[in-house]
Amino acid sequence: MVTKAEDAFFAHPTSYSAPNLGPAEADTKLAAFMPLVGITILPAFVHLIYQNLDALGYDRLGQPLLASRPPSSLVANNMILREALQTFGPELQWLKMNAQVQQFDAATEISRKTFFPFHDRIMKGELEQAQTMSGNFLSNPFGKALSRNFYKYVPESYVQFLATLLYIRQGLDPRIINPLTLEEYVEYAKNQEFHKARYMTVFLGYIMLLAGKGSFDTLYRAIGFGNASSLLEAKEHQLALLVASFQGNVGLAQALMEPSHMTASIHKLGACAVQRGWISRVQITPTLVGDGDPNPSNCELSMFRAMYPIHLDATGKTAFHLYQKNQSPVDYKVPTVGPLAPPVAQLDLEDEDEVYNSLEWYMDDFYIPNRTPVSTPQSMIDD
């Protein structure tokens, strides 16, 4: 099935994201393309839920992070959130019990090609094909078709629960005006918010898989640089160096530590990787000890949060969290009656590309690079 889907896609790739596709044809193209990327949809959405729970002060089971970052009283006492956590809590438990972790290096080539065809292309260095696939995956026609068919891949209660978390989060920011309703957040959750998750799942996939075995030039080219004088962003540089160091890619690690390539200090790389959730403190290698400060400041400026499906496992290998779709998920819907909506910017829910112009605090440190992994200038995306 995957081979047929790949053959059909690469025969006419531009037809899958043509701007003049009608809804019916776009839905057909979506179904034809899904065998190549479908395994990433539910994990990306589940981790959006985890990210927003974390931002509110809760763990992946919906329990308060009492020791490290407990929820504020404003959050903890919000009745909409309390009822949502109580209702959706069993689903969070189900997800934890049914989660699987697939280490890419441990998978056979047949398994990777069958279940992770996009990632398999990256690992083989077939960047042109990988970029063509990710270009369609991140395109606006694909996003709109996915929104219409979202129920096939993600239970509706997950969308409703994420909408509630987003709604509560925005009530904490006094800078935001003009509220969206809870119902409007349902559309936002599976459009703009999920576009971010799709984007970061792809972008981190390039960085982490190529940092394990690729060269600096390959990594640099893969994540969208057309100008040889450009530099990796600090977060890209630090994550690539972390992965290269753990996975023994000496050539890339040395290249990343050259002064001409460095965009962030490496003196706190290990400690920041711990703080941001990538590794445990016992995993810090001698080369990553740095200046010895166990809790440096401003790690959010130089290190991604480890809150995405693609991650480093306990051995330092690149792996992917997998979740099967629950056939009997809990029944949760946003309440139709409640207190006044919190302040939040009014966004155009029709145009998914607005994600790049939206408020950056929807995720507390959401990162928007200035180009895409398909070498598309950011100005074209922003139009």
Q: pTM for this one?
A: 0.86
**110-154 pLDDT, tens per residue?**
999 999 999 999 999 899 999 999 999 988 899 999 999 999 999
Q: Would the CA dihedral through 70, 71, 73, 78 be positive or negative?
A: negative
Residue 114: domain span: 37-224+306-382
Burial class of residue 339, CB neighbours in 10 A (0-12, 13-18, 19+) = exposed
**188-210 pLDDT, tens per residue?**
888 888 888 888 888 899 999 99
Q: What percentage of the chain exceeds 90 in pLDDT?
A: 51
Q: How far is C-alpha 346 from the geometric centre of its chain's CA atoms?
A: 23
Q: How far apart are the C-alpha atoms of 344 and 115, rounded to whole Å?
A: 39
Q: Considering the domain boundaries, does residue 99 fall inside one?
A: yes
Residue 340 clears pLDDT 60, i.e. is over it: no
Number of structural domains (the chain) is 1
Compute the CA torsion angle 150, 152, 158, 160 (nearest 10 deg). Answer: 50
Residue 238 clears pLDDT 50, i.e. is over it: yes
Is residue 62 within 8 A of residue 370, CB to CB? The reply is: no
Q: Considering the domain boundaries, does residue 60 fall inside one?
A: yes
Residue 224 binned pLDDT confidence (cut-offs 50, 70, 90): confident
Q: Considering the domain boundaries, does residue 207 fall inside one?
A: yes
Is residue 233 within 8 A of residue 378, CB to CB? The reply is: no
Helices marked H in 250-348 — which ranges? 250-256, 269-275
Neighbours of 130 (CB within 10 A): 26
Window from 75-84, 223-232, 247-256, 359-368 with minimum mean pLDDT: 359-368
Q: Considering the domain boundaries, does residue 22 fall inside one?
A: no
Q: Considering the domain boundaries, does residue 236 fall inside one?
A: no
Q: How far apart are the C-alpha atoms of 346 and 348, rounded to whole Å?
A: 7
- For 185-188, which contacts have Cβ atoms below 8 Å and span 24 or more sequence positions? 185/334, 186/159, 186/160, 186/334, 187/147, 187/349, 188/163, 188/347, 188/349
pLDDT at 362: 33
Would you state the structure tokens that stand for residue 52, as one six-digit string? Answer: 């927003």
Q: Considering the domain boundaries, does residue 258 fall inside one?
A: no
Residue 176 clears pLDDT 80, i.e. is over it: no
Q: How far apart are the C-alpha atoms of 358 and 382, rounded to whole Å?
A: 10
Residue 302: φ, ψ to 5°: -130, 5
Q: How far apart are the C-alpha atoms of 194 and 370, rounded to whole Å?
A: 19
According to DSSP, residue 179 is labeled P
Q: Considering the domain boundaries, does residue 6 fall inside one?
A: no
Q: Considering the domain boundaries, does residue 68 fall inside one?
A: yes
The answer for residues whose C-beta is within 8 angstroms of residue 20's C-beta and 6 or more apart is none
Mean pLDDT (whole number) for 320-333:
95
**1-35 pLDDT, tens per residue?**
688 999 999 999 999 999 889 999 999 999 999 99
